[in-house]
Amino acid sequence: MFTWRRQFSQTATLLKTAAMASSTPNTKAHSFQVIRDVPPLRTLRRELLLSNRTVGLVPTMGALHEGHLSLIRQAAAENTDVIVSIFVNPTQFGVNEDLSSYPRTWDSDVAQLEALNAELATQQTQTPNENPRGKITAVLAPTAQTMYPTLPPSSAEDGDGSFVTITPIARKLEGAARPVFFRGVATVCMKLFNIVGADRAYFGQKDVQQTVVVRRMVADFHVPTEIKIGPTVREQDGLAMSSRNVYLGARRRGVGLVLFRALKAAEEKYAAGSLRRGEILDAANRVTQRVLAEQQGLGPAERALFEVDYISLADPDTLDELDTVDPRRGAILSGAIKMAPLEESTPGEDCGLGEGKVPVRLIDNLIFPPRE
Amino acid sequence: MFTWRRQFSQTATLLKTAAMASSTPNTKAHSFQVIRDVPPLRTLRRELLLSNRTVGLVPTMGALHEGHLSLIRQAAAENTDVIVSIFVNPTQFGVNEDLSSYPRTWDSDVAQLEALNAELATQQTQTPNENPRGKITAVLAPTAQTMYPTLPPSSAEDGDGSFVTITPIARKLEGAARPVFFRGVATVCMKLFNIVGADRAYFGQKDVQQTVVVRRMVADFHVPTEIKIGPTVREQDGLAMSSRNVYLGARRRGVGLVLFRALKAAEEKYAAGSLRRGEILDAANRVTQRVLAEQQGLGPAERALFEVDYISLADPDTLDELDTVDPRRGAILSGAIKMAPLEESTPGEDCGLGEGKVPVRLIDNLIFPPRE
């Protein structure tokens, strides 16, 4: 009993030390409740239930950007009350992944949520005859010990604990590179769903495999929460928004757009009538190969090198790789590239958080809808 | 997609063939609803919620006996409405275990539940001034395809599917002999808890490791259902009631009592002040060794041989084996023995269901309470 308690506080201390100064929820007054533990959340949920209100949950790991805000807007349009959870979930980071450096930006997150609540309040008064739009009622920011009350959260593949596993889909694509990732995602989502008891929960299409895993979990475990997927929010030039983009810097950001461009080239093939894996993926691979060759021709202070992890054409439910797209089912086209650290930088260059030294994995996807 | 659908119907056909004629829910009118699928159960649950009623869930695999009825009585005393689930859960049986021969006794189960509802109704009218006691409102008897909607239920250790795993406690004791057992139990309980949304769920102390696993799951996943444990119900002579006892027959039943006697001998040591593993377990082992020696001295038509699988003295929460009992925490003393098939029988002998040829694993336990 005492051994793991000690382990647990060591882990907790590590997590705390790794977090930035602004990462800890404080007690300032907000337009929403900040809830740190399960009992007050249950009390709130019960009040909402008895008042016939509806609850939309938007689970996040903080470091909020326009993609999260877009999900919250969708949740507020479909529910009277939105609960945003902010929890950097340790079990979805592998042992050698970026848990300690994952951006923790509590003050900025809260400021964005406050601004969004003000925006939602304006819309409520502007459209008095429509269904009143919801607002952010609470931010759930639990501690690791609340979320993992018994054993310390393990990131090891053979680590002990209470986990939800969804195989074989959790082993494919992102799961091949990150073997504990979807176990961690499914586990923390089951906990959050049980805590919040939301009518609906919102996930971004950007993490498309996550949406497939969570939907499968909800179906197989009969979780009484409806899963809603919001579209990927992109920068002006098409780069999918991601909390990890802050590590890119200008040079890698520009080159990193190659993934989206490659997926778009493949999408054009499907739109033009092709159903064959070879034709569709060749179009994507030509783009990545050309851009990589261009970069390799530049000097170390100008280029940004990358590796393609995968570009996949897969069934929308099973994520099995497809030789031919069944036009009645459509497909998921997804990819991952790894931006290498910058080799050299020039004085004053915008190298991003971490001075260009942090490798950044970018993922993106496009849905090929079924054809009538 | 079509491959596993075919696999699934094969599994379903096997299960159906294996079941006895009387195992299938029929449409007779009962004093409770018989619900086969999730949507009507959710409708019922919503009605009960809106009427401020409370729901106790008693999950069973059918083959009901006085142990189950005792749990239902407890649930009816603490809730206005009791939902009994009857589902022989394939994922908690190992590949070589007794899924196909597990007793399926629908008609007898329903008759016992009807009799119990009549008994509960009598008590309601006899004690008008007490809180009105609850009754059995519904029996949930889902199909395997409802409980495992996507992939066919796998019993293989490395089988794919959506599972809840609770380690390391699921690997200990019963889990050492039955590696998929608690994965199956935790998985089906999470599904049932999500479907029923019960205020309380009832489990028997007889399956003590199951109670530890389920309680851990509920704590770690913040399941909003309270777990209540009912005492082990025993025959007059002390044999713990079990659905599998029907396979014993008179001879093995008599000898099988050795497990309970061994545990009682160990309990006396604890009651007399001993906290040491050696002293406590030696008392139990002396009983099993003496009875085994007696049996080995008899002829094949008279004896019933058995093997002791384990006798364990463990921490109540972690199930770690104890060298010394911490008197502030108490302990769980548990054991398992395997009754071998009868070697020879005499004409007219009561050999139990399966003519004495089915090996029967018996488990039992006693709780050592903390000492003040």
**A170, two tokens:** 């959790």
Q: Answer yes or no: do B249 and B226 share one domain.
A: no
Q: Answer yes or no: do B276 and B316 share one domain.
A: yes
Q: Answer yes or no: do A157 and A105 share one domain.
A: yes
Q: Tens of pLDDT along A318-346?
A: 999 999 999 999 999 999 999 999 999 99
Alpha carbons B75 and B83: distance in angstroms, whole number: 9
Alpha-carbon torsion angle B315, B318, B323, B324, nearest 10: -40
Kindly tell me the sign of the dihedral angle through the C-alpha atoms of B199, B203, B205, B210: negative
Amino acid A25: pLDDT = 61
Of the pLDDT bands very low, low, confident and very high (cuts 50, 70, 90), residue A29 is: confident
Of the pLDDT bands very low, low, confident and very high (cuts 50, 70, 90), residue A12 is: very low
Alpha carbons A325 and A134: distance in angstroms, whole number: 40
Query: β-strands A360-368, A331-339: how paired?
Result: antiparallel
Q: Does A42 touch chain B (CB under 8 A)?
A: yes
Are B280 and B266 within 8 A, CB to CB?
yes
Could you say which DSSP state residue B134 is in?
Answer: -
Q: Tens of pLDDT along A187-198?
A: 999 999 999 999
Alpha carbons B42 and B48: distance in angstroms, whole number: 10
pLDDT beyond 60 at A4: no
Q: Answer yes or no: do A37 and A124 share one domain.
A: yes
**B285, two tokens:** 């082992």
Three-state DSSP state, A164: strand
Are B166 and B216 within 8 A, CB to CB?
yes
pLDDT beyond 60 at A130: no
Q: Answer yes or no: do A75 and A131 share one domain.
A: yes
Residues of chain B with Cβ-Cβ distance to A148 below 8 Å are 220
Q: Answer yes or no: do A143 and A252 share one domain.
A: no
Burial class of residue A323 in the structure, from the number of CB atoms within 10 Å of its CB (0-12 exposed, 13-18 middle, 19+ buried) = exposed
Residues of chain A with Cβ-Cβ distance to B195 below 8 Å are 222
Residue B11 inside a domain? The answer is no
**How close is the nearest chain A Cα to the Cα of B223, in Å?**
6
DSSP B164-202: EEEETGGGSTHHHH-TTHHHHHHHHHHHHHHHH--SEEE
**B15, two tokens:** 């299960």
Alpha carbons B309 and B317: distance in angstroms, whole number: 21
Per-residue burial over B54-91, b = 16 or more CB atoms within 10 Å of its CB, e = otherwise:
bbbbbbbbbbbbebbbbbbbbbbebbbbbbbbbbbbbb
pLDDT beyond 90 at A178: yes
Token look-up 């409370």 returns B54
Please report, for chain A, how many H helices and E strands are present, in that order.
Answer: 11, 10
Count of pairs with CB atoms under 8 A, one residue in A, one in B: 72
Cross-strand bridge partners of residue A163? B165
Residues of chain B with Cβ-Cβ distance to A223 below 8 Å are 194
The CATH number of whichever domain residue B197 belongs to comes to 3.40.50.620
Amino acid B11: pLDDT = 41
User: What residue spans of B85-232 are helical by DSSP H?
Assistant: 106-126, 144-147, 174-177, 181-196, 208-220
Of the pLDDT bands very low, low, confident and very high (cuts 50, 70, 90), residue B19 is: very low
pLDDT beyond 50 at B4: no
Window 63-82 of B, Cβ < 8 Å to A: none
Residue B111 inside a domain? The answer is yes
Q: Answer yes or no: do B220 and B107 share one domain.
A: yes
Q: Tens of pLDDT along B191-233?
A: 999 999 999 999 999 999 999 999 999 999 999 999 999 999 9
Could you say which DSSP state residue A27 is in?
Answer: -
Contact B162 A166 (CB under 8 A): yes
Alpha carbons B170 and B187: distance in angstroms, whole number: 12
pLDDT beyond 80 at B368: yes
Token look-up 């506080």 returns A9
**A166, two tokens:** 């969804």
Mutation to test the B interface, candidates A2, A194, A223, A225, most B Cβ within 10 Å: A194
Residue A22 inside a domain? The answer is no
Residue B53 inside a domain? The answer is yes
Which secondary-structure segment (H or E) carries A279?
helix A277-296
Q: Which residue has the higher pLDDT, B107 or A127?
A: B107
The last residue of a domain, from among B195, B230, B265:
B230
Q: Answer yes or no: do B249 and B317 share one domain.
A: yes
pLDDT beyond 60 at B127: no
pLDDT beyond 90 at A229: yes
CB atoms within 10 A of CB A369: 12
Of the pLDDT bands very low, low, confident and very high (cuts 50, 70, 90), residue B25 is: low
pLDDT beyond 80 at B249: yes
Amino acid B222: pLDDT = 98
Window 311-370 of A, Cβ < 8 Å to B: 315, 317-318
B360-368 β-sheet, strand order = B306-314, B331-339, B360-368
Residues of chain A with Cβ-Cβ distance to B190 below 8 Å are 190, 221
Per-residue burial over B296-305, b = 16 or more CB atoms within 10 Å of its CB, e = otherwise:
eeeeeeebbb
Query: β-strands B135-140, B81-86: how paired?
Result: parallel
CB atoms within 10 A of CB A297: 9
Average pLDDT over residues A123-129: 60
Amino acid B133: pLDDT = 81
Angle value at C-alpha B204, between B199 and B207, nearest 5 degrees: 125
The last residue of a domain, from among A230, A262, A293:
A230
**B100, two tokens:** 């196909």
Q: Answer yes or no: do B304 and B187 share one domain.
A: no
Three-state DSSP state, A312: strand
Are A363 and A334 within 8 A, CB to CB?
yes
Residues of chain A with Cβ-Cβ distance to B191 below 8 Å are 220-222
**How close is the nearest chain A Cα to the Cα of B343, in Å?**
43
The last residue of a domain, from among B230, B258, B281:
B230
Q: Which of A1, A150, A219 sits opposite B220 (nearest CB)?
A: A150
Q: Does B7 touch chain A (CB under 8 A)?
A: no
Amino acid A253: pLDDT = 96
Residue B57 inside a domain? The answer is yes
**B361, two tokens:** 């694993």
Of the pLDDT bands very low, low, confident and very high (cuts 50, 70, 90), residue A167 is: very high
Of B251, B261, B240, nearest to B362 by C-alpha is B240
Amino acid A371: pLDDT = 87
In this structure, which amino acid lies at residue B331?
A: A
Q: Answer yes or no: do B155 and B264 share one domain.
A: no
Residue A24 inside a domain? The answer is no
The CATH number of whichever domain residue A326 belongs to comes to 3.30.1300.10
pLDDT beyond 50 at A145: yes
Residues of chain B with Cβ-Cβ distance to A38 below 8 Å are 222
User: pLDDT > 70: what percent of chain B?
Assistant: 90
Of the pLDDT bands very low, low, confident and very high (cuts 50, 70, 90), residue B18 is: very low
Alpha carbons B329 and B316: distance in angstroms, whole number: 7
pTM given for the model: 0.92
Are B137 and B196 within 8 A, CB to CB?
no
pLDDT beyond 60 at A7: no
Poorest-pLDDT segment among A124-128, B46-50, B213-217: A124-128
Per-residue burial over B152-176, b = 16 or more CB atoms within 10 Å of its CB, e = otherwise:
bbbbeeebbbbbbbbbebbebbbbe
Q: Does B26 touch chain A (CB under 8 A)?
A: no
Q: Which of B164, B167, B220 sits opposite A149 (nearest CB)?
A: B220
Mutation to test the A interface, candidates B2, B221, B321, most A Cβ within 10 Å: B221
Amino acid B278: pLDDT = 98
- List C-alpha distances in Å: B358 to B254, B340, B348: 16, 8, 18
Amino acid A21: pLDDT = 40
Q: Tens of pLDDT along B285-311?
A: 999 999 999 999 999 999 999 999 999
Q: Does A38 touch chain B (CB under 8 A)?
A: yes
Q: Does B157 touch chain A (CB under 8 A)?
A: no
Q: Answer yes or no: do A55 and A166 share one domain.
A: yes
Amino acid A98: pLDDT = 83
Contact B221 A315 (CB under 8 A): no
Alpha carbons B179 and B184: distance in angstroms, whole number: 10
Alpha carbons B289 and B285: distance in angstroms, whole number: 6
Cross-strand bridge partners of residue B228? B202
Of the pLDDT bands very low, low, confident and very high (cuts 50, 70, 90), residue B27 is: low
pLDDT beyond 60 at A17: no
| Contacts for A227 with CB less than 8 Å, ≥ 6 apart | A200, A201, A203, A211, A214, A215, A218
Annotated active-site residue A68? The verdict is: yes
pLDDT beyond 60 at A203: yes
What ipTM was reported for this prediction?
0.92
DSSP B303-365: ---EEEEEEEEE-TTT--B-SB--TTT-EEEEEEEEEPPPS---TT---TTTTT-S-EEEEEE
Amino acid B21: pLDDT = 40
Residue A130 inside a domain? The answer is yes
Q: Answer yes or no: do A299 and A361 share one domain.
A: yes
**Rg (chain B; Cα; Å):** 21
Of the pLDDT bands very low, low, confident and very high (cuts 50, 70, 90), residue A133 is: confident
**How close is the nearest chain A Cα to the Cα of B312, in Å?**
18
Three-state DSSP state, B246: helix
> Structural domain of residue A343, as residue ranges?
245-368
Mutation to test the B interface, candidates A52, A196, A221, most B Cβ within 10 Å: A221
Alpha carbons A265 and A256: distance in angstroms, whole number: 15
Q: Tens of pLDDT along A82-118?
A: 999 999 999 999 988 889 889 899 999 999 999 999 9
Amino acid B8: pLDDT = 41
Amino acid A20: pLDDT = 40
Average pLDDT over residues A44-72: 96
Kindly tell me the sign of the dihedral angle through the C-alpha atoms of B95, B100, B106, B108: negative
pLDDT beyond 80 at B323: yes
- Mean residue pLDDT across chain A: 91
Alpha carbons B253 and B249: distance in angstroms, whole number: 6
Contact A150 B219 (CB under 8 A): yes
**B128, two tokens:** 């008008």
Amino acid A119: pLDDT = 95
Residues of chain B with Cβ-Cβ distance to A191 below 8 Å are 220-222
pLDDT beyond 90 at A68: yes
Residue A265 inside a domain? The answer is yes
Report the number of distinct structural domains present in chain A: 2
